[in-house]
């Protein structure tokens, strides 16, 4: 039995970066304020002092320029970790990510690999208003050629980066800034994790709660409350948003026959749309009720706390929705 | 470096013939490509390099095998000058499996990692940040190679140009920013797109060593690019070289050329780098008229062979459509 340690989401991310830098000389971290400032969210605090400016590179505010440089360095044999401070700024680098990172392998007929890892802080819930509160996983998950991972748990915060660096193809890592201070117990020897499959985090037989990102802990909390009411729901963390692992949730539905998909992203053309479509295509006759969704309300995220809270699914929304589905 | 007569590249008759052959190969290859386009053998966008040959040929002379090259969507000339097989390029444009990018890219996406040729990049200026990153990798790895990045003057209006110049200078990385200023960004003239039309003024603003040269003069391009590459190898720092050139043909095969006068094109044709260089070789008695004819004949046969190779190529099986989205050994 391995020992468990208490770790914040931030420290889990940081220990993964440290381990990667120690393990492989080709790895370096580049991003805005990652060095002298210590990282906008203090994820890389102290790493400049430990590894020096060649490995921890502060970059100017030029998202396209430095993300593209990361892609170029990856083409030429390095293993860059590019930190885009927040997903909001990543649109300035989207040309590089989509037109270059995602296409070079294909355009070159399989000649060129782009083993870059791009980390983005993201999420809603810190009263940062419309330009700094985004759940844009669906944008990136739309693009063939990218591997899109959502870091919804502390074990994944500790392990996904390490696995991503082993990938010969470009990986986008979504990290959730609202979870940075949250502490959880994880095995002391936690490390690299699978990055191909979704994960059943709680077994249940009445309904499948399918989610990712900040939805994961919310759904687990809702599942606890529902258990107290005698409702036994299964919680699935999608984790890999592209290429999407559908087997895990399709298998779950053959057991529960009901599904609710939960996400912060805007409802239209979202991850939940995709999940619902695949269930309809591949498990239609397993369903005892229509697939339901709880998503972000389609509004630029407002500043006031009560309006922001109302913009994305909360634990009580999940509890209420599941109760209605199971006890109409 | 001081400009003196002794710095001029002294070429041998042999080299002169080789250089003329390269320029002619590009010229005739492009003419043939236009012909194949009208026969619908080549589809999509086709951007021809006719008129600009001295730049690709001149610059590549200063590069070594281990140097990296990134180019634009008007890259047939660079690929040929670098030594890419004409048959593989033609097959690529025919969309055949035998193409340099297995037919997946077409005219705008020629790749050949064997000769360090990294595209064939068709988002204007999108490859400049990558070039900086490749040069950064070389620096980190302690390699001595140079990354040469070709782009047009249209790219110099993009934000990525300025970001890349800043990053390259900030990080001191060995990259040659090679601007082919052919005066038109697609159909919009330089004067309508740049507040400062002397593009070479943009380099010093970033503390980057900069030069400019008549891109219609092969020997001048060779000299200027050798100087630039020598500087980069010596210092590890970036260099910005602007080559003033002109494309004789339309932007692409869809272009009706409404934006420039025929007289202007004719005027520039008098600067055609190929006759100019041929005359130079003749004058210096490094070549005879018969030898020029022999080179023409050789080029013709090479192009015939390329067409034959492309014609005989195979169409990829549709069942393989989704190949090369992810690395095959990793994901099925």
Quickly list DSSP for A46-66: THHHHH-TTTEEE--S-HHHH
Minimum-distance CB partner of B166 among A62, A108, A109: A62
* Residues of A labelled as active-site residues: 63, 132
B184's enclosing H/E stretch is strand B184-185
What count of residues does chain B have? Answer: 332
Q: Same domain, yes or no, for A153 and A225?
A: no
A218/A236 Cα distance (integer angstroms): 12
A126 pLDDT above the threshold of 90? no
Element (H, E) at A202: strand A199-202
Cα separation, A259 vs A208, whole angstroms = 5
Residue A183 sits in the same domain as residue A203: no
The stretch A8-12 carries a mean pLDDT of: 98
DSSP A310: H
Distances (CA, A) of A132 to A40, A90, A302, B123, B232: 13, 11, 10, 28, 41
- Check whether residue A169 and residue A285 sit in a common domain: no
Query: Which residues face B188 on adjacent strands?
Result: B185
Interface test with A, best of B84, B107, B121, B136 (most A CBs within 10 A): B136
B117-120 and B111-112 strand pairing: antiparallel
Say whether both A239 and A208 belong to one domain. yes
Domains of chain B with CATH codes:
5-320 (3.40.50.970)
Indicate if A149 and A247 belong to the same structural domain: no
pLDDT at B254: 86
Instruction: Label residue A320 by pLDDT band (50, 70, 90).
Output: very high
A39-56: pLDDT as tens digits: 999 999 999 999 999 999
What is the tally of structural domains in chain A?
Answer: 2
What's the pLDDT tens digit per position in A68-124? 999 999 999 999 999 999 999 999 999 999 999 999 999 999 999 999 999 999 989
- Which residue in A62, A65, A113 is closest to B327 by CB distance? A113
Q: How deeply is B233 buried, as exposed, middle or buried, from its count of CB atoms within 10 A (0-12, 13-18, 19+)?
A: middle
Q: Residue A24: what pLDDT?
A: 97
pLDDT along chain B (332 residues), means of 10: 51 97 98 97 96 98 98 98 98 98 97 97 97 98 98 96 98 98 94 95 97 98 98 98 96 90 95 97 96 98 98 97 89 48
Residue B170 CA to residue B274 CA, distance in Å, equals 39
Determine which of A65, A92, A195, A243 to mutate to test the interface with B (most B C-beta atoms within 10 Å). Answer: A65
Provide the pLDDT confidence category of residue A315 given band limits of 50, 70 and 90: very high
For the record, the structure tokens of B16 come out as 């002169």
Among A167, A187, A207, the domain boundary falls at A187
Instruction: Flag if A72 and B136 touch (Cβ within 8 Å).
Output: yes
In this structure, of A14-28, A123-137, A196-210, B83-97, the range with the lowest mean pLDDT score is A123-137
Domain end point (choices A143, A165, A187): A187
The enclosing domain of A248 has a CATH number of 3.40.50.920
Domain of residue A127: give its range. 4-187
Q: Please state whether the peptide bond connecting residue A70 to the residue before it is cis, i.e. omega within 30 degrees of 0.
A: no
Mean pLDDT, chain A, rounded, equals 97
Residue A53 lies in a domain: yes
Residue A140 shares a structural domain with residue A217: no
Contacts with B192 (C-beta within 8 Å, 6 or more apart), sequence order: none
Q: Please give the C-alpha separations between residue A85 and each of A132, A137, B176, B304, in angstroms, as whole numbers.
A: 11, 15, 30, 54
What whole-number distance in Å separates Cα of residue B155 and Cα of residue B165? 12
Q: Which of A130, A163, A187 is the last residue of a domain?
A: A187
Q: Which residue has the tokens 């010969």?
A: A168
**Judgement on whether residues A217 and A319 belong to the same structural domain of the protein:** yes
Interface touch B137/A73, C-beta < 8 Å: yes
Task: Give yes or no: residues A153 and A281 share one domain.
Answer: no
Average pLDDT of the residues in A213-229 = 98
For A289-309, what is each residue's pLDDT tens digit?
Answer: 999 999 999 999 999 999 999
């Amino acid at each position: 039995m391995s020992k468990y340690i208490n770790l914040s989401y931030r420290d889990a991310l940081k220990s993964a970066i440290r381990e990667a830098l120690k393990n492989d000389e080709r790895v370096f971290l580049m991003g805005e304020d990652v060095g002298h400032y210590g990282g906008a969210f203090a994820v890389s605090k102290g790493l400049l002092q430990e590894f020096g400016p060649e490995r921890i590179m502060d970059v100017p505010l030029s998202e396209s320029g430095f993300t593209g440089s990361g892609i170029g360095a990856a083409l030429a044999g390095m293993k860059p970790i590019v930190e885009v401070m927040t997903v909001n700024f990543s649109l300035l680098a989207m040309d590089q990510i989509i037109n270059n990172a995602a296409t070079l392998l294909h355009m070159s007929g399989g000649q060129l690999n782009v083993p870059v890892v791009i980390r983005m802080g993201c999420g809603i819930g810190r009263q940062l208003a419309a330009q700094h509160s985004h759940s844009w996983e669906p944008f990136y998950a739309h693009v063939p050629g990218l591997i899109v991972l959502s870091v919804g748990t502390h074990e994944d915060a500790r392990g996904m980066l390490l696995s991503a660096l082993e990938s010969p193809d470009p990986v986008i890592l979504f990290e959730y800034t609202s979870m940075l201070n949250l502490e959880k117990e994880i095995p002391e020897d936690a490390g690299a994790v699978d990055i191909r499959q979704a994960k059943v985090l709680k077994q249940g037989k009445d309904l499948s709660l399918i989610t990712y990102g900040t939805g994961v802990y919310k759904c687990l909390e809702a599942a606890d409350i529902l258990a107290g009411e005698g409702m036994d729901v299964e919680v699935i963390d999608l984790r890999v948003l592209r290429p999407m692992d559908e087997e895990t949730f399709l298998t779950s539905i053959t057991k529960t026959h009901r599904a609710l998909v939960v996400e912060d992203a805007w409802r239209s053309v979202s991850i939940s749309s995709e999940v619902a479509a695949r269930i309809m295509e591949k498990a239609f006759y397993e369903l005892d009720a229509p697939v339901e969704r709880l998503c972000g309300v389609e509004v630029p995220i407002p500043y006031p706390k009560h309006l922001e809270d109302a913009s994305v699914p909360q634990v009580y929304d999940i509890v209420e929705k599941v109760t209605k589905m199971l006890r109409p | 470096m001081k400009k003196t007569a002794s710095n001029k590249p002294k070429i041998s008759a042999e080299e002169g013939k080789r250089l003329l052959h390269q320029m002619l190969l590009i010229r005739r290859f492009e003419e043939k490509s236009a012909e194949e386009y009208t026969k619908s053998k080549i589809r999509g966008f086709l951007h021809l390099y006719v008129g600009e040959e001295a730049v690709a040929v001149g610059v590549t002379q200063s590069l070594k095998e281990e140097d990296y090259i990134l180019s634009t969507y008007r890259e047939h000339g660079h690929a040929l000058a670098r030594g890419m097989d004409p048959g593989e390029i033609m097959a690529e444009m025919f969309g055949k499996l035998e193409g340099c990018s297995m037919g997946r890219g077409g005219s705008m996406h020629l790749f050949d990692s064997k000769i360090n040729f990294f595209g064939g990049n068709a988002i204007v200026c999108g490859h400049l940040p990558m070039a900086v990153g490749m040069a950064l990798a070389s620096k980190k790895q302690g390699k001595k190679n140079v990354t040469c990045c070709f782009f047009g003057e249209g790219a110099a209006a993009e934000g990525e140009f300025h970001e890349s110049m800043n990053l390259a200078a900030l990080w001191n990385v060995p990259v040659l920013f090679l601007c082919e200023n052919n005066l038109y960004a697609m159909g919009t003239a330089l004067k309508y797109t740049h507040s400062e039309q002397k593009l070479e003024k943009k380099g010093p603003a970033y503390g980057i060593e900069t030069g400019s040269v008549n891109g219609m003069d092969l020997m001048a391009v060779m000299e200027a690019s050798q100087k630039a590459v020598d500087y980069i190898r010596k210092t590890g720092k970036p260099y910005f070289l602007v080559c003033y050139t002109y494309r004789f043909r339309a932007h692409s095969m869809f272009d009706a050329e409404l934006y420039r006068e025929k007289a202007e094109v004719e005027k520039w044709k008098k600067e055609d780098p190929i006759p100019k260089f041929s005359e130079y070789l003749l004058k210096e008695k490094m070549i005879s008229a018969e030898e020029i004819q022999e080179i023409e004949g050789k080029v013709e046969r090479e192009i015939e062979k390329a067409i034959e190779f492309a014609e005989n190529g195979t169409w990829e099986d549709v069942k393989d459509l989704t190949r090369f989205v992810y690395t095959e050994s990793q994901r099925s």
